[in-house]
Amino acid sequence: MITQLKLFRSSFLDFIDDPFYESEETSVRYLADGLLVVESGIIIDFDDYNILKDKYQGFTITHYPDLLILPGFIDTHIHFPQTEMIASYGEQLLEWLNQYTFPIERKFSSKEYAQKIASFFLDELLKNGTTTALVFATVFPQSVDAFFEEAYRRNLRMISGKVMMDSHAPDYLKDTPETSYQDSKRLIQTWHKKGRLLYAITPRFAITSSREQLKIAGKLLTEFPDVYLQTHLSENLKEVEFVAGLFPEAPNYLGVYDQAGLVGERSIFAHSIHLTPDEFKRLSEAKSAIAFCPTSNLFLGSGLFKLHQAKSKTHPINVGLGSDIGAGTSFSLLQTANEAYKVAQLQNQTLSPFQALFLATLGGAKALKLEDKIGNFDIGKEADFIVLDYNSTPLMRLINQQISEPQTRLKIAETIFSLIILGDDRAIQATYIMGERAYSKE
């Protein structure tokens, strides 16, 4: 058993509380020279190196001097079938779906093709430091099988589900309420909690699901209360208007989902840009979460997410970052945080470096109700973490030349901000899954 111990020494940064509500002094944990001890994939010890070194004398230590170890990034909204259509030019949401998304997703009726893209997609996530993601597949159940097979082979903590879509879509992508129920049930029974995998019931959005299908999604949630619900909400003004016309009986867009029993503690709503105060309040009451997708929202011209309203003290909501590939423009949650900072700036608000990093780590874990398993370096959690090089480009070396190894929280805040604004996959030196190296830049 002793031989299974893995020790890692470096600078470490994580969060033990939410910096949107608590001071950075009490919410940020920074060890300039720390030691992380992992046994069978689980963190069993974590503290300053000088405190622990005698306890683990004689053990081999993997040392990353002048680098920074963070918990693995958590992406709360992304579409694996849209990997190859990233950077598709020139449309807003509804037109973009019809012109680009639906034809691409048709290819995923082939499981072989789905496996090829899933493998590339997961490799790309690891290369960018993302260790957990909430992932849309397609309407084809074989695309879900392909994704989960690839994720299981890599021992990843991933969440995904079959898209449910029986309305306002091409015939080649439609299912029915009954087939979506049977397919989803089979997939849940096959994959939910197999290894580190989890399932999400996935109606695409209100426009593409009939009332009957939304109720079927609610029935599945009742039958399998520990699975997730993921969908889109209030991304685009034309979409909001369309939904209001389709469901005139609902008080608002969120109300469409609420009437079907889809608004709960394990529900994650992507985008949520154009919410009313009542919708923010309801999400808070239900303890649902929002996936904030800034690169996608800017790329499609959808609008500016009201992050500070979502994170208000009056009606607090768990928020995570979503890359939303392929409307999103980068797999990197560093780049996603970069755009999140600008979205806040455009609304005369601030997003601190620590708040942005929290959204990508413990904030994402809380949004996915996984903070007992991932998100920081607490003892007992799964050892998914990343090694970052804040001097990974000549420009970053130039601006960080005064900092050989940051020694104070103020200096590390400056370094984190430079990583967020200038960093991307080149900053990821290594990615570890359950204490095993799954990606190395070298």
| CB-facing half-sphere around the CA of 200: CA atoms within 13 A | 31
Question: Stretch 16-30: mean pLDDT, rounded?
Answer: 97
- Tokens 């082939």, located at residue: 110
Determine the pLDDT at residue 8.
98
Confidence (pLDDT) at 400: 83
- Predicted confidence (pLDDT) at residue 2 exceeds the cutoff of 80: no
Mean pLDDT of 274-288: 98
Q: In angstroms, rounded to a whole number, what is the distance separating the alpha carbons of residues 320 and 366?
A: 8
User: How confident is residue 402, by pLDDT bands cut at 50, 70 and 90?
Assistant: low
Tell me the two tokens of residue 41.
């994939």
Q: Residue 129: is the preceding peptide bond cis (ω within 30°)? A: no
384-392: average pLDDT: 96
Dihedral through CA 202, CA 205, CA 209, CA 213, nearest 10? 40
pLDDT bracket for residue 403 (50, 70, 90): low
Residue 1: is its pLDDT beyond 60? Answer: no
The answer to whether the beta carbons of residues 47 and 55 sit under 8 Å apart is no
What are residue 200's DSSP bridge partners? 228
Tell me, what's the pLDDT at 422? 96
Q: Which two tokens stand for residue 405?
A: 């190894």
Q: Please say whether the beta carbons of 319 and 367 come within 8 A.
A: yes
Instruction: Look at residue 215 and tell me whether its pLDDT is greater than 70.
Output: yes
Is residue 86 within 8 Å of 326, Cβ to Cβ? Answer: yes
Q: Mean pLDDT lowest for which of 262-276, 322-336, 369-383, 410-424? A: 410-424
404 pLDDT band, cuts 50/70/90, is: low
Q: Which domains does the chain have, with CATH numbers?
A: 5-71+376-440 (2.30.40.10), 73-368 (3.20.20.140)
pLDDT value, residue 410: 78
Residues present in the chain in total: 442
Query: Would you list the DSSP string of 224-257?
Result: STTSEEEEEES-SHHHHHHHHHH-TTSSSHHHHH
